[in-house]
C-alpha cells in the first residue's frame, strides 16, 4: 500500500537533470520510460528516498503518468517510500547467509542500534532491515549500504560494531 508521506516541494538540481538526459539517450526514440528505474536510483541517491512529489516530477520529466512511477517504485524492493536513516544497513537474511549466522547478526544490530527493523535511530543516522539474497553467499554473512551499495563481507559482531563506529565518525 502506497502511503502518502510529507509533500514538501522538491527541486532537481541541474546536475541531476543532466544525468537524466544522459540516461534517456540509451533507449530508442519514444522508449524513454525505460529510463525510469535508473532515474529513480539517481533521485533516491540524491534525496534519500522517493516522496510523491519527487515521483510526480519524474513522471513529468519522462512524460508518463504518475501512477506508472508509483507502481514501479512500490514493486521493487530497493526504492524507499519513506525517509530512512542516513545509513541503511541491509543484511542478507536468505538461506546460505543464515547457515553461517546472519540471524544472530541481525539480532546484534537491532541491539546495538536500539531500533527495530525498518525504524530510524533518534539521530537520524541509522536504520537496518533484512533483505533477500544479495548474491554473495560465498562471503556470508554480508550487508550492503546504499546509495553506493558498498558491500561488507564475512561479517561477525565485532566487524559490525567497527563499521557502525566508523560510520558514526564520518
Partner 1 sequence: MARKLLLEHINVPGINTLDVYRQKGGYRAVEKALKTLTPDEVVEEVKKSGLRGRGGAGFPTGMKWSFLAKPEGVARYLVCNADESEPGTFKDRYLMTYIPHALIEGMIVSSFALGANTSYIYVRGEMMPQIRILEKAIAEAKNAGLLGKNILGSGYDLELYVQPGGGAYICGEETALLESLEGKRGNPRIKPPFPAIAGLYGCPTVVNNVESIAAVVPIINDGGDEYAKIGIGRSTGTKLISASGNLVKPGVYEIELGLPVEEFIYSDEYCGGIANGKRLKATVAGGSSVPILPANLTLKLANGEPRLMSYESLSEGGFATGTMLGSGGFIAFDEDQCIVRNTWNFSRFYHHESCGQCSPCREGTGWMEKVLHRLEYGHGKMSDIDLLVDVSKKIEGNTICPLGDAAAWPVASAIRHFRDEFEWHVKEPVKSLDTNYGLANYAEPIAKAEVTTGD
Q: DSSP letters along 14-62, please?
A: HHHHHHHHHHHTTS-TT-GGGGHHHHHHHHHHHHSS--HHHHHHHHHHH
Which residues sit opposite 129 in a β-bridge?
Answer: 90
Question: Using CB under 8 A, which of the segments 6-14, 47-55, 75-83, 104-112 binds partner 1?
Answer: 75-83
Question: Using CB under 8 A, which of the segments 10-18, 106-114, 115-123, 140-148 binds partner 1?
Answer: 140-148
Report the Cα 93 to chain-centroid distance in Å.
16
Distance between CA atoms of 38 and 80, rounded to whole angstroms?
14
> Using CB under 8 A, which of 76, 114, 117, 161 touches partner 1?
76
| Distance of closest approach, residue 113 Cβ to partner 1, in angstroms | 21
Q: Does 151 bind partner 1 (CB under 8 A)?
A: yes
Coil, helix or strand at residue 94: coil
Q: Are the CB atoms for 63 and 39 separated by under 8 Å?
A: no
Binding to partner 1 (CB under 8 A): which residues in 14-53? 26, 28, 31, 33-38, 40-41
Q: Does 58 bind partner 1 (CB under 8 A)?
A: no
Binding to partner 1 (CB under 8 A): which residues in 100-139? 100, 131-139
Q: Are the CB atoms for 110 and 116 separated by under 8 Å?
A: yes
Q: Summarize as ranges the residues that interact with partner 1 (CB under 8 A).
A: 26, 28, 31, 33-38, 40-41, 62, 64, 68, 71-72, 75-79, 93-96, 98-100, 131-140, 144, 146-151
Amino acid at each position: 500500500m502506497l502511503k502518502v508521506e510529507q509533500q514538501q516541494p522538491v527541486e532537481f538540481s541541474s546536475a541531476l537533470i543532466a544525468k537524466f538526459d544522459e540516461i534517456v539517450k540509451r533507449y530508442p526514440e519514444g522508449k524513454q520510460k525505460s529510463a525510469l528505474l535508473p532515474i529513480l536510483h539517481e533521485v533516491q541517491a540524491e534525496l534519500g528516498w522517493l516522496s510523491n512529489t519527487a515521483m510526480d516530477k519524474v513522471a513529468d520529466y519522462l512524460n508518463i503518468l504518475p501512477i506508472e512511477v508509483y507502481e514501479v517504485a512500490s514493486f521493487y524492493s530497493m526504492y524507499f517510500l519513506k525517509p530512512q536513516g542516513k545509513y541503511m544497513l541491509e543484511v542478507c537474511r536468505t538461506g546460505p547467509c543464515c547457515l553461517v549466522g546472519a540471524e544472530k547478526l541481525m539480532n546484534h544490530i537491532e541491539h546495538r542500534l536500539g531500533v527495530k527493523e525498518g525504524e530510524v535511530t533518534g539521530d537520524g543516522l541509522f536504520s537496518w532491515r533484512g533483505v533477500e539474497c544479495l548474491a554473495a553467499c560465498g562471503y556470508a554473512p554480508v550487508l550492503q549500504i546504499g546509495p553506493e551499495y558498498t558491500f561488507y563481507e564475512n561479517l561477525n559482531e565485532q566487524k559490525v560494531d567497527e563499521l557502525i563506529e566508523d560510520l558514526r565518525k564520518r
